[in-house]
């Protein structure tokens, strides 16, 4: 479902990553690993059409997102790709449930309160539906961001550094939940991280920057 070929990524035309390519089947789970600054976020965002591509192609479900115009790519991303951003991007004035339901607007779908509550419950947050983000622990906030990304069962679920600032217990829990939610939603999962604790949870690792 994901096919990446001979990708050159960079900013202002200056390459920061030459990536020979990768292929993932539907439902596969993969880790992008490597030291800080090696280009993990740049590559992960390229899978969502959010990084500037100098050359190469990224096909998601048979559609080459590098060939799309901006508006078409935005629509495609909303419909097929869920992203857990490193900074989470939760809206402080909205409740947990409202933050998750916001994903419906982004994907142009009808808000589905029952599905939002079900995903939050799967992530152990059924007691927190009406809480504001500021009243959550870091691990809980991370799980809200995961629920929002997985709400509409995206073909591709991407997460950037989902375990940063979590202790060992919360780290293992968040990774386990990401894998479980992706499996339940039928999503292909790609995580980018420099967190060595995550590695043991993945058989399929794309190592960047000379990382073994
Ligand atoms: N918006 C940008 N403009 C110019 N250069 C950028 C931009 N974003 C990232 N870079 C550069 O691209 C390279 C790769 O950055 P990237 O954020 O992909 O690394 P990373 O592997 O995710 O690092 P970290 O582990 O610290 O998150 C770095 O050298 C960085 O300085
Ligand atoms: Mg990064």
Ordered structural domains, the chain, with CATH? 2-207 (3.40.50.300)
pLDDT at 182: 97
Give the number of the ligand closest to the Cα of residue 9: 1
Per-residue pLDDT tens over the stretch 155-168: 999 999 999 889 99
Beta bridge partners of 164: none
User: Atom 28 in ligand 1: which residue has the minimum CA distance?
Assistant: 37
Per-residue pLDDT tens over the stretch 115-172: 999 999 999 999 999 999 999 999 999 999 999 999 999 999 999 999 988 999 999 9
pLDDT at 210: 66
Q: Which residues contact 142 (CB under 8 A, 6 or more apart)?
A: 84, 88, 162, 163, 166, 170, 174
Q: From the CB of 193, is ligand 1 less than 6 Å away?
A: no
Average pLDDT, the chain: 94
For residue 211, pLDDT over 70 is answered with no
pLDDT at 111: 86
Per-residue pLDDT tens over the stretch 25-44: 999 999 999 999 999 999 99
For residue 212, pLDDT over 50 is answered with no
Structure tokens belonging to residue 90: 């939760």
Structure tokens belonging to residue 20: 């020979």
pLDDT at 18: 96
Residue 86 binned pLDDT confidence (cut-offs 50, 70, 90): very high
Residue 105 binned pLDDT confidence (cut-offs 50, 70, 90): confident
Question: Could you tell me the CA-to-CA distances from 142 to 1, 120, 145, 168 in Å, in that order?
Answer: 26, 11, 5, 14
User: Atom 2 in ligand 1: which residue has the minimum CA distance?
Assistant: 11
pLDDT at 122: 92
Q: Which residues contact 30 (CB under 8 A, 6 or more apart)?
A: 22, 24, 188, 189, 190, 191, 202, 204, 205, 206
* Number of other CB atoms surrounding residue 196 within 10 Å: 9
Structure tokens belonging to residue 123: 């992530």
Residue among 7, 8, 10, 11 whose CB has most ligand 1 atoms within 8 A, to mutate: 11
- pTM higher than the cut 0.85: yes
């Amino acid at each position: 479902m994901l096919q990446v070929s001979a990708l050159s990524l960079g900013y202002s035309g200056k390459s920061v990553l030459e990536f020979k390519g990768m292929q993932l089947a539907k439902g596969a789970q993969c880790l992008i690993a490597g030291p800080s600054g090696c280009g993990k976020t740049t590559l992960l965002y390229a899978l969502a059409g959010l990084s500037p591509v100098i050359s190469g192609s990224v096909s998601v479900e048979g559609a080459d997102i590098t060939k799309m115009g901006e508006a078409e790519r935005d629509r495609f991303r909303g419909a097929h790709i869920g992203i857990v951003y490193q900074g989470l991007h939760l809206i402080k004035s909205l409740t947990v449930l409202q933050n998750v339901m916001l994903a419906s607007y982004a994907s142009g779908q009808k808000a589905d309160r029952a599905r939002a509550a079900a995903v939050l419950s799967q992530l152990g947050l059924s007691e927190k539906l009406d809480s504001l983000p500021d009243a959550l622990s870091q691990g809980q906030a991370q799980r809200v961001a995961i629920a929002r990304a997985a709400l509409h069962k995206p073909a591709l679920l991407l997460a950037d550094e989902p375990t940063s600032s979590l202790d060992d217990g919360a780290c293992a829990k968040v990774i386990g939940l990401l894998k479980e939610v992706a499996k339940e939603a039928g999503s292909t999962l790609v995580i980018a991280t420099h967190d060595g604790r995550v590695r043991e949870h993945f058989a399929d690792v794309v190592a960047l920057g000379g990382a073994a």
